[in-house]
Amino acid sequence: MSEKKSTDDYWKANIRIITISMVIWALVSFGFGIVFRPLLSGIPIGGTDLGFWFAQQGSILTFIVLIFYYTWYMNRLDREYGVDEE
C-alpha cells in the first residue's frame, strides 16, 4: 500500500510542476507577448518596449529557464522517491 501511495505522490508532484510550468510559459509567451502587449508598451527595456521584448526574446528566455528548473526539480524529486538513474 505504501508503494502505491508513494507512486501516487510522485506523479502528483510531477503533474503539478508540469502544470505550473505550462501556465508560466503560456502567460509569458501568449499573455505578455500578445494579450497584454498594449499594457506593457510604455515600459522601456533594451531600447524597445517590454511587450515587444517578451514577444521576441523574453518568452524564449523564460522557456529556457523553465527547462533548467524542471530538470533540476525532477532530479531532486527522483532522488526523493528513489527512482533516480544513479
pLDDT for res 61: 92
Tell me phi and psi for residue 8, to 5 degrees: -65, -40
pLDDT for res 56: 84
User: Helix H segments across the chain?
Assistant: 2-26, 37-40, 50-53, 59-81
Query: Which residue from 50, 59, 64 is spatially nearest to 27, judged by alpha carbons?
Result: 59
Distance CA 48, CA 45 (A): 6
User: pLDDT (tens digit, 0 to 9) for every residue of the chain, 86 residues total?
Assistant: 456 668 889 999 999 999 999 999 999 988 888 888 888 888 888 888 888 888 888 889 999 999 999 999 999 999 888 887 76
pLDDT for res 1: 41
Distance CA 49, CA 52 (A): 6
pLDDT for res 4: 61
Distance CA 55, CA 34 (A): 7
Put simply, whether the predicted model's pTM sits higher than 0.95 gets the answer: no
